[in-house]
Amino acid sequence: MSRKPVHLAVYDTYADWETGHATAYLARAGYEIRTAGPSHEPVTSIGGLRVQPACALDDVRPSESSLLILPGADLWDAGDGLAPFARKAREFLDAGVPVAAICGATVGLAREGLLDDREHTSAVSFYLAATGYGGGERYVDADAVTDRGLITAGPTEPVAFAREIFRLLGVYDGEVLDAWYRLFHDSDAEAYAVLEKAQASG
């Protein structure tokens, strides 16, 4: 079955560890991961990885994507330089295409008003409250939250973030999704057998 690509936003100082579980297993499931940067110029992650974006943000169309992933970055807290990525997230959600944001990217979405009417989470509630956004009553103290096509998570929850992405896209479900999470979050060795069995039959 042909799937539309998943777009991973990349920009200087992006947190390269926050999306690795998600992109690795999406790729294994047959999704092409396309990096989208501010332009075609290379960017450098917090970990010093130099990435050449496959496309520029302006060229990304929701109709040609399965999902937009926004990782955290120091730049989310340094001003409005990444605001175009938050606006792109609005474009995706308005088109009915999901968005997943983790860590500092949730601040960008808060500033854009995308968390005002959706359940969401982040690092801590006061981190988002500092933006002056209107969604404080919808903040949920959870590892990751999905509401109407928008996934949010805090910086310490890359595995839960990936779990919600897999659930939303239907990559894994039921006991297989639970086993994947238990293996990578809890180091539950018994979960490996469930995944191995599912892979053999799938």
Which residues are part of the catalytic machinery? 103
Q: Identify the H or E element spanning 152.
A: strand 150-153
The distance of Cα 152 from the centroid of its chain, to the nearest Å, equals 7
The pairing of strands 33-37 and 55-56 is parallel
Burial degree of 37 (CB within 10 A; 0-12, 13-18, 19+): buried
Burial degree of 138 (CB within 10 A; 0-12, 13-18, 19+): middle
**Whole-angstrom Cα distance, residue 132 to residue 113?**
10
**The three-state (H, E, C) secondary structure of 110-145, written as one string:** HHCCCCCCCCECCCCHHHHHCCCCCCHHHECCCCEE
